[in-house]
Each structure stands twice: as structure tokens, then as C-alpha cells.
Chain A
């Protein structure tokens, strides 16, 4: 039921991306991701995908890891793609009985799939090359409110235990005769069982949160935990930010120019 959280399983590798200072890595890749969101012209898709591939290669992350993680959103895009290909107007490429495949729709599906692949791959490089708390500290240094940063870190720590609690509750309910498969009758009663399970998770987790908070207070937590001195930004990290921002601006300008020319 609860998927395995293994995003940072490759955070211990040694690569040029892993060695970047965390704030620089965040700024540079965020600029690239933002510019990919703006790209729409088919001419720019190949450079965009090339940049994403270069980021993956430079990070030494396995391609199998990237492809496996992008599979689920790609399926969603394919479903949307079927609607677009069949329901768009414009030139008809092929007729299959009552169905017509439109060129405009096919082009749009290609753009969407390419953008999803490029943005997803760069996001995986950004978050897969350092432990999540390291990236959150970098986000906080760049202005993320401490309250939200704390919520991210505390929630991340709580996932595993809550997943275990949920699995235990489901097993206990199963041993008392609750059947989860759809072929068994009694769906409404299962909804009630699930509601009580989620209610119990709230109560149990809240009690645990109170204990954690008391322990944190004893250790001196006051809400604004000091971050310590930041890691110095070396020449490689500075060069990466400049290069990434320049590429991002270049992509946005090229998109605008091609839009004006078109």
C-alpha cells in the first residue's frame, strides 16, 4: 500500500552535480525547469531534451531510475494524448472508421511528453543528488519560511512510521475478517473501517507529535533552528549557476523570438 521512498538512494554518489553547493544546484536547476515550462515551440524541444539528458549524464544517476520514476506521469499524459489526438481540430492525418487522428493534436502530445520528460528528469537530478533535508536547508537559506521548512522535514521523518502504522492496522483488520478486495461484498462497511483507521492514525500520530515536540523543547527547539554557516560557493558552483541561468534566459528569449517570427 505504501510505496517505498528511495528518491535519495543515489545521493551518496560522486559526480560533478553531487559536488555542487546545494543553493547553487537548486538555483541553477530551478531556472532550467522554469524555462522548460515556457518552451512550446517544436524547434526547441531537441535542445531542451539534450540539456535534460546532459544533466542526467553529469549526475551519474542510472537511466533505469529516471525512466522508472517518469513512467506513471507519462501514462497520464498518454491518456490526455488520446483525447487531444482524436478531438483536436485541423488537418486530419489518418481516418480509422469513425475516428480521425489530427495533426495538431499529435503535435501537442509530442510537446507535452517532451516537456514532461525534460522537467521530470531535471527535477530528479535536482532532488536525487542530495539528501532531502540538505535541499530543504538550501531552500530555507534562499528564503523559504522556516515554518514551511520545518513542516517539510518533520513530515518527511513521520512518513515511514505512519506507513508502518497503516500497514499494521490493515493487517489487524484483515485478521478480524475485513476483506479489501472488490469481489467481496460489503464496500460500505469497509469505508467505515477505513474511516476509523484514518481517524486512529490522526489520534495516534498526534499523540506521537506531542511527545516529539516535548523532546524537542527539552533540547532547546524554539522554532528557528540555527542553520550554521553556509558552505562556501566555489568557482564550479558559481559557474554552474551563471551557465544555467544564461541557458534558461536563452531558451525563453528563443521561444519568444520564434513565437514572434511564427
Chain B
């Protein structure tokens, strides 16, 4: 789910950077309200590296395999740090492995990071209100993982199909959005199950790693 360089018009790339800049400023403002945000930096950085490394894992879904997006899981674990972590992770993927791109970094970060922030806020709220039982933790974990994937896939489909092929038949654009989103539904289900499993594991082993779990 990365748009490479060269595909989007310059104006869309610029708009992506403006949106990512706004989301970054918002995240930094929320993070800086913490007593000492730099105390959280080593943890957030290490978890960013885990996110980056874990996205190399190919999950076997016979007869093929998929690699996970994990933006929902990052929202669940890092809360307001999730956008910054995704921004840094995508920067590395663009610079170190040419997955995604530098000119499309703003668009990619916005489309993956904003759903992660939304999921983080939802999970944090759920953790404060209901999610302490394992059943609710699984429900919120699944909802977070799958919702973030669906929102990102929908965003990518709209951006790609609406901006790339100027000569594309208009009816094909609608079909394209629908097809791209539907194609991601199995991945969203896998992401939801995977996120729920990780949430249940962390709830049992180290619950204070989950966003909103700390009292």
C-alpha cells in the first residue's frame, strides 16, 4: 500500500505534504503535552523499528501470502506517536528500499497514519471504558486492525484512481475504486485477526504497552 514516485501529479504530492505536515504538528502537540516526550522517544523509535521489520513478514494465506500493513496495530500500541512512527517507517522504506517514494511520502503517510491515529484514539477510549476484559480487548483489537486497513485502502484507491489516469474511462474509475477496496477486504480481515491476537498477547504479558492501558 505505497504509492511510488512518478505516479501522482505534483499538486497532489504537495497537498499530501501539507496534510502530513498538519498531522505531524498535531501529533507533536499532543506528544509534547506529556511530561517528558523525549522519555518516550527510545520506546517509540524501537517500536517503529519493530513495525518496519514486522512489515517484512509474509503471512501465509494459501495459496499465496500477503505482507501486513500493521498501521492499526501501531495505533493501538503507540497512540499519538503512531503517525510519527509511520512517517519515520515510510521514510525508511522509501530511502532504504525504494518502497513508496520521497515525493509521495506525504500522501502515503497521511493515508496510512491518519487511520492509525483514529484507531489509537478509539482504542485508548475503549481501554479507559470497557476494554479491560479479554473479549472486549479482542473486539477492539480486531476493529482497530481491520478498520485502519479498510480506511487506508479506500484512501489509496480514491487517490490513485481519481488522480492518475487522466485518460481513463470515468466508469472504469468507479469500478477501480470498488475493486481495489474489495481486494483489500481479505487483508483487512487478516489484519484484524492478527491485531486482536497481538493485543491479547500483550494484555497477558505486558499490558502497559497498549495505548490507554496505563492508569
Contacts and interface: CB of A to CB of B under 8 A. Distances in A.
A199 B198 CA distance: 5
Q: How large is the interface on A (under 10, 10 to 19, 20 to 34, 35 or more residues)?
A: 35 or more
B53 A2 contact: yes
A21 interface: no
Given A89-B167, A89-B169, A203 B6 contact: no
A84 interface: yes
B53 A209 contact: no
B122 to A, nearest CB: 20
Given A84-B168, A151-B84, A182 B50 contact: no
Interface of A: 1-3, 5, 7, 33-34, 36-40, 69-70, 72-73, 76-77, 80, 83-84, 87-90, 102, 104-105, 108, 111-120, 123-124, 127, 132, 145, 147-148, 150-156, 158-159, 162-163, 166, 180-182, 187, 190-192, 194-196, 198-203, 205-206, 208-210, 212-213, 216, 221-224
Given A119-B5, A181-B60, A209-B46, 14 more contacts: A33-B103, A34-B10, A37-B5, A72-B97, A89-B167, A105-B165, A148-B88, A158-B46, A195-B197, A199-B201, A203-B206, A208-B46, A221-B38, A222-B38
Interface in B1-53: 4-10, 13, 24, 28, 31, 36-39, 41-50, 52-53
Contact of B53 (A127, A132, A163, A208): A163
B52 A159 contact: yes
B46 A205 contact: yes
A213 B49 contact: no
A203 B28 contact: no
